[in-house]
Structure 1
């Protein structure tokens, strides 16, 4: 390896050379700095004596100058020139802009956004074009804005997400056309529905997951996913579910209940959600001491306390408190006491888990209803909405009565949205009730298929309108036909006859059967007007008139009784009747139990050919046990028909249906030569239970068991030509098992029966299948 050495003089020369280069670079840098500084100083300001605008086609030059904000012969800095450029772009009218100073002249070059020639959607199948157009703000013949198109795409994606398609993607595209026009195309990828695969609850002890899943609106994916939309995931629905869960627990005494959290976890494949509600139940409380005091001069507490129905020991419910207050306030109006308000003061007793309630009668503020404004009803008449209010202009204002009126308006099911609010009127002591509604469809056309082990396959065509021409009236018509039967029905109902809480109904029916599956042909026509009105909080009374035409013909049997009845030909029946019902299943003290009592009579003889009194009654009691997972039900029903002496009942008047399970319709009762005749009396007791089978909820399958006891008996034997049997009360006993399935074809029920006790000539039915659906 060679070594080179640099002697001292050479190092000195190198140092001098580097020093010279450094000095030269500094000099060059200084020159450039001076030159650059001079140029920057010159670019700091401009003065334009003229402005030229290029590229505009639709936009007037004055409009562009107004956005620029640059005046002639005024000094303009570079920053102000940049601000002018930003203002022109921010107008949203131009795709590109350029500001070019040329001496004392400023040239503004713009490229205008095109106008929208056409808006189209591609790839959408689940939502129609007209539905999607309602969500976007871009419009034909308006200036195209990429920003607005992107916002429209995001809005459309959100609309699909509300329909359970969170993976939907919307991409806006433009197709250039002549004359600076574009077609705006939204390319839609809808994706599949993201379903709720599983709904679970954490922290619940009193009620099972299965019971709570029946409460909420969201549903798990099941066999009905093609027909039911509630198994798709909608985030807003979870807020409603939280509220109904709270109401459910509160109505059962769990006053401390709250939903501590809701977790909706999307599966890795993004095709399903797993929803979990975290709940805190707390303890169940009951009513403790119930008292009423009056702080209003001249008003005694005792009459109002006597009006209460809630008693100590009953499971606490805010609904019961509200109904008690409403009952007291109605009593005050009846007694002519205005502005009475009931303030419930609740004392909590944690030791014995009771809530003492003291109802305090006080005088409320002297505020009157100035007027009731109604908006948004394009079809429904004002009076239909107004009659849901118990107050009119000039009445004392009661916030609770207004809330109840809002609930009644929602219960009409005429509107998709109802908002009722009170605001201050023309004076501080007056309020204006503002009612804003949004109409929804109220008509329905249905095509139904049915199958029964008794009648075989059938078809039904129907039309119904529950808000006929906006008057709140109901109109329905139906034709149902099977192999040996055809029914025509037409019904009309005016729920507020003469502006009062009286329902006026008109019903027409025509039924015809042939002898393919029976011993004779029948024709029955009925005309029935009726009036129904409340007689108590839970009781309703209906009175009606009935005119009926009945004909039996083409008999091909061997019964002397039936032959004599067919020989009578067609007969007319003119009758008056009433029907009373008492139902606590919705308004009783116990949300898990209820009683229905129905009793009615029909008196014929006001003209016509028949004179009789026909009485029917039905008593139903129902309750839930085992944390509401099991429903127990008992039904007791019976009937009797008594003809005037000298007259006989006919088959069409007698009781001949399926009064208990396990036997065919007209399968028990008196018979002659083996032909069943029906009877003048019937009685039945039915005990049944509905319960889960332990199968996954998504199968929609539950079970039931029943035990029926009943009989049909009693007949006039004067025209008999053969042996008549079973004329007396002979009870039949049936035990059975039911399977309920929410199938894709509709609610399906299968009964498997075994007659423990029967009579000779009875027609058993060991299996019964009933299914009906509409599409």
Structure 2
């Protein structure tokens, strides 16, 4: 816009006489309303025409950003002149069309550019859009992509834009080349980077894609890796990229100056009267003389601050300060602690529980309002709430309360379905077609109580069960339960039908210990025992059992559904008969589980169980009280027909003793889904016609064994497990392997 061309000659002449403005007119505008333009014009009808004022009008109209040219003319009108503002609008953008993009969707590209329908068209937007689209394609590894943008004015005065894209092929990283590395080879270094060179699996995991921002972060990862191995003065230059356009390959060069390796010299902790120096050093795992590890030292400092937070210092800060001895290549570390002030628990608030009652969550809190803050109790609170099994996610946040001495706790939960009506069918090599159905609610009316009605139907069993449990009677530490059942089972060597019920009472003794006692009465009818197979313990007839017994559980697992560390010990004893009536016998067992993380998320799980039963009335242990083994929750790869003593027909008799060992390697794909491999070893011991695969008394060297794998996942209907076990000691008549399906928790 040139101001020298804005005024016509007649306007110059009339300005000398300062004619009166008789009218105003806007010409040339199509999109911008005349009233909008007139709003910015200060020249007024009835007042003398002013050159400076008209100039300012032109500047105001031009500042709208909608016009490429503005001219002003005048023409006689009455006793004065009409001032005419002639504008030339910048065209708007019409259709914006993408062509040639088959690998990246148009809806992903359109938001990247400012060329949008209805926006004002400007020439610089063309190059800006080319730059942004080209950069986006590079981030997706299309380094050879070409972008061309054409535009033309259509019959409506709008600018139609056509974006033509030649995507080309993805250019992947052929090799990441390290220079100057002596302590670690390239493969070790690349393992600690997110950026990877192309492999034969790149089509699946998209490895080999170059991303500039990711590579920058990888440099920091490499520096951290070196710092964790004592190379505190390492220098890593910005990576350089070499693109071979003919071969469609990228080479990444990373130059490293490792420097010298340092070891940990002296280590000290500077605290206060809260803890002695010796108490603080107990939680420090770094030891003098070992290779300095920056991450480990930060974890040590965190453990020190956690120790203070257990004494109410919620905002304690522990900072490691290092001093390098270049001559001896050592690092002296002093962890300085700033405790801050003691804080107390303010408000405890719960959000997200749409079904579960507040008290069900609050009673699991180990911290109460007004109590001295303790981070250990806070972690335990989250663990207990999570172990209820009612929530997909549990999050506890801390924030300052109404005063500096208070910290409020905000618990946010995401509820998972706890009730289900299920119908299912399956197939087992032993039971053939299996039907099951259940109505269950593990959080009845949001009270934390559980109710279950279930049935299992197959060629070998017909079970009906009713179970009710209140884990916290009146919000106390006492639990109460009722069980009713009607079961029919075919064990091949005999058929049993039992009807009965029981009562359960229990109490939490501590955070990890629980003691319970239960009573059960049942009436059992044994039939289909062939006369030739009848013994003192195996015979047709109806018997009753009346038993009572305690159970002790110590459970330190971090997560009941998917444990990664901790132990679980269960000791049971049952006494039947005598003054209680019915058959005379007793049973005792011990079960132990151990979990520990190995590498990354890989978890080692060990489980063992030993069981022993004996009669004391001279009538023998009833056959229906024998132990049987084989299946998804005991010895996988086997069925009950293949383990323990057998009768003349080769059918299982069970035994009065059993021994089981399970070893698993578990890897979680998600919190609800994990895969596992296993080695199982177990057997049932007792008397029978055929004891060729077992012995009469417990023998840890006489056990069946198998290996296999499977998956476990948490479905809307509860935990589900699928496993396939292969026998390592198959005998004539055995199958080589078995497939197992089960619902419920594993050991």
Tell whether 2:306 aligns with 1:326.
Answer: yes
Instruction: Tell me if structure 1 keeps the 8 A contact 2:727–2:737.
Output: yes
* 1:713 and 2:685 matched: yes
Residue 728 of structure 1 corresponds to which residue in structure 2?
Answer: 697
Q: Confirm or deny that 1:520 pairs with 2:490.
A: no
Residue 43 to residue 511, structure 1, CA distance change in 2 (3 Å):
farther
Report the CA distance between 1:640 and its aligned residue.
2.3
Counterpart in 1 of 2:551?
Answer: 577
- What is the aligned counterpart of 2:643 among 662, 668, 684? 668
Tell me which of 617, 636, 657 is aligned to 1:681.
Answer: 657
- Structure 1 residues 569, 50: closer, same or farther in 2, change over 3 A? farther
Partner of 1:640 in structure 2?
A: 612
Q: How does 1:244-393 map to 2 (within 5 A)?
A: 295-296=272-273, 299=274, 301=276, 304=279, 316=296, 318-319=298-299, 322-323=302-303, 325-327=305-307, 329-330=309-310, 332=311, 341=316, 343=318, 364-365=340-341
**In structure 1, how many angstroms separate the alpha carbons of the residues matched to 2:141 and 2:444?**
33
- Partners of 1:461 and 1:267 lie apart in 2 by 63
The runs of 5 or more residues in structure 1 that have no matched partner are 1-33, 91-95, 115-122, 137-142, 168-191, 692-700
Query: In 1, Cα distance between the equivalents of 2:29 and 2:183?
Result: 73
TM-aligned CA deviation for residue 638 of structure 1: 1.4
Change (3 A) 1:662 1:285: farther
Contact 2:280 2:304 in 1 (8 A): no
Q: Is the 8 A contact 2:630 2:638 kept in 1?
A: no
Select 2:571's aligned residue among 595, 600, 604.
600
Q: Distance in 1 between matches of 2:440 and 2:261?
A: 47
CA contact (8 A) 1:164 1:233 kept: yes
Q: Structure 1 residues 754 and 159 mapped into 2: Cα distance closer, same or farther (>3 Å)?
A: same
User: 1:695: which partner in 2?
Assistant: none
The residue that corresponds to 2:155 in the other structure is none
Between stretches 383-392 and 212-221, larger displacement belongs to 212-221
In the TM superposition, residue 570 of structure 1 has moved relative to its aligned partner by 7.5
1:671 partner SS: coil
Distance 1:771 1:503 in 2: 34
CA distance in 2, matches of 1:662, 1:343: 53
Q: Is the 8 A contact 1:580 1:599 kept in 2?
A: yes
Q: Quick one: distance in 1 between partners of 2:439 and 2:200?
A: 30
Q: Are 1:709 and 1:732, in contact at CA under 8 Å, matched by a contact in 2?
A: no
> Counterpart in 2 of 1:656?
629
- In the TM superposition, residue 581 of structure 1 has moved relative to its aligned partner by 3.0
Matches within 5 A, 1:387-466: 420=397, 422=399, 429=404, 442-443=416-417
- Alignment partner of 1:651: what SS? helix
User: Aligned equivalents of 1:464 and 1:255: distance in 2?
Assistant: 58
Q: 2:345–2:372: 8 Å Cα contact kept in structure 1? A: yes
Give the equivalent residue in structure 1 for 2:736: 766
Deviations 1:378-407 (A, max 9, x none): 888877888898766666678999899899
| 3-state SS of paired residue (2:9) | helix
Query: In 1, Cα distance between the equivalents of 2:424 and 2:249?
Result: 32
Deviations for 1:195-232, whole angstroms, at most 9, x for unmatched residues?
Answer: 99999999898999799989999999999999x99999
User: 1:598 and 1:295, CA in 2 relative to 1: closer, same or farther beyond 3 A?
Assistant: same
Partner of 2:9: 39
From the superposition, tell whether residues 396 and 540 of structure 1 become closer, same or farther in structure 2 (CA, over 3 Å): closer
Following superposition, the deviation at residue 577 of structure 1 comes to 2.2
**What's the CA shift for 1:357?**
7.0
TM-score (norm 2): 0.55
| Aligned residue number for residue 542 of structure 2 | 568
Structure 2: give runs of 5+ residues left out of the alignment: 75-81, 93-100, 127-131, 145-168, 291-295, 668-673, 714-719
- Whole-angstrom CA distance in 2 between matches of 1:146 and 1:492: 71
How far residue 713 of structure 1 moved from its aligned partner, in angstroms, is 1.9
Q: Is the 8 A contact 1:463 1:477 kept in 2?
A: yes
Are 1:615 and 2:589 matched, yes or no? yes
CA contact (8 A) 2:636 2:724 kept: no
Tell me, in whole angstroms, the C-alpha distance in 2 between the residues paired with 1:413 and 1:161.
46
Pairwise CA distance, 1:240? 11
Contact 2:345 2:409 in 1 (8 A): no
1:679 CA displacement: 2.0
**CA RMSD, Structure 1 to Structure 2 (Å):** 8.4
Q: 1:314 to 1:729 in 2, by over 3 A?
A: farther
Provide the rounded CA distance (Å) in 2 between the counterparts of 1:403 and 1:667: 46
Where 2:306 maps in the other structure, the secondary structure is: helix
Distance 1:421 1:458, change over 3 A: same
Instruction: Tell me the number of residue pairs that the alignment of Structure 1 and Structure 2 aligns.
Output: 682
Higher relative contact order (CA 8 A, sep 6+): 1
- TM-score after normalising by structure 1: 0.54
Q: 1:479, 1:196 → 2: CA distance?
A: 58
Spell out, residue by residue over 1:742-767, the C-alpha distance to the aligned partner (whole angstroms, 9 max, x if none).
899x9976544332xx9xx9974532
- Structure 1 residues 320 and 567, CA gap change in structure 2 (3 angstroms): farther
Residue-by-residue CA offset, 1:118-170 (whole Å, 9 max, x unaligned): xxxxx99x99x9xx9xx99xxxxxx98799xx9xxxx9xx9999999999xxx
CA distance in 2 between partners of 1:308 and 1:374 (Å) = 33
Cα offsets for 1:393-424 (capped at 9, x unmatched): 6666789998998999999996889694746x
1:396–1:749 CA distance, 2 compared to 1 (3 A):
closer
Displacement of 1:648 in angstroms is 3.0
Distance in 2, matches of 1:165 and 1:224, equals 15
Instruction: Note if contact 2:637-2:739 (Cα within 8 Å) is conserved in structure 1.
Output: no
- With over 3 angstroms needed to count, the CA separation of the structure-2 counterparts of 1:395 and 1:469, relative to structure 1, is same
